[in-house]
Structure 1
Amino acid sequence: MAYEETSSEHAEHGHAHPNYLGVFLALCVCTVLSLVFDILPWSRATVAVLVLSIAVAKAQFVMRYFMHLKFEGRWKYVLLLPTSILACGLPLALAPDIGLHYYTVDVPQVEHSGELAEPIEVPEGTDAGEGGAH
């Protein structure tokens, strides 16, 4: 009797195998859409939003079907919670270092061409011979 109950419960949940070919075709369509959006002459911000949206959709397909998260129980959220906290906390913890110290006013960011306009003359009697600092 217990076996009949478990088999009927299993049939109610309908754990059918996913259509991997359909998921593969959906991923191919998403990839083609990303390429098309990248080629179109739209603004960079629009293209970035569209391509990143498609990337999120592709990640959802991979997570739900190939990683079988769609068919797992609710315990996956228990495993996801600490990871989510760390994923949000790490950028917040690093923001002061990156935001406050990446560019400084003391050292301006200048692009150099690699060639000097005028040769630098080194006074005699200094140690800035060959290979020295210019």
Structure 2
Amino acid sequence: MAYEETSHEHSDHGHAHPNYMMVFVALCICTILSVIFDVLPWNRATVAILVLAVAVAKAQFVMRYFMHLKFEGRWKYVLLLPTAILACGLPLALAPDIGLHYYTVDVPQVRHQGEPARPIEVPEGTDAGEEHDGH
């Protein structure tokens, strides 16, 4: 009798088990909402905000229930804070190099539709077939 009580005590782990079927249903509903938001003829910025909000909700469900973070102590915030700061700071740090110039045409050889091709100008005193090694 004492053996049954101790084995039951160790298997409980101090928290109730989540209803994984309800979490699955919630994830399915979130996925359906994402598809609906993407199909509706709304402004692209509005659709992006709504779809990202649903994606954050889905990530919260996965982290809380499947990764069991809901049942961890408060120390998890100490571990997640540097990651969150890095996740916010990295796009901001890379934006000047990648994000702000990605869709602008900075290359003179690229021509617009309907514009005639321009010949490449070679400066005088250089041979067009000559290779330069940077010296």
TM-score (norm 1): 0.63
Matched, 1:61 2:61: yes
Partner amino acid for 2:74?
Answer: R
Structure 2: give runs of 5+ residues left out of the alignment.
1-8, 120-126, 130-135
Give the aligned partner of residue 77 of structure 2. Answer: 77
Give the aligned partner of residue 24 of structure 2. Answer: 24
Instruction: Within 5 Å, give how 1:20-59 maps onto structure 2.
Output: 20-59=20-59
How far is 1:55 from its partner? 0.8
How far is 1:101 from its partner? 6.2
Cα distance, 1:104–1:45 mapped onto 2, change above 3 Å:
closer
Cα distance, 1:59–1:103 mapped onto 2, change above 3 Å:
closer
Matched, 1:95 2:95: yes
Identity value in percent: 77
How far is 1:66 from its partner? 0.6
How far is 1:84 from its partner? 2.2
CA RMSD of aligned residues (A): 3.8
Deviates more, 1:77-86 or 1:57-66: 77-86
The C-alpha deviation readout for 1:101-125, integer Å capped at 9, x for no partner, is 6577863584567xxx68x8xxxxx
Cα distance, 1:111–1:17 mapped onto 2, change above 3 Å:
farther
Give the aligned partner of residue 131 of structure 1. Answer: none
- The count of residues paired between Structure 1 and Structure 2 equals 114
Deviates more, 1:100-109 or 1:68-77: 100-109
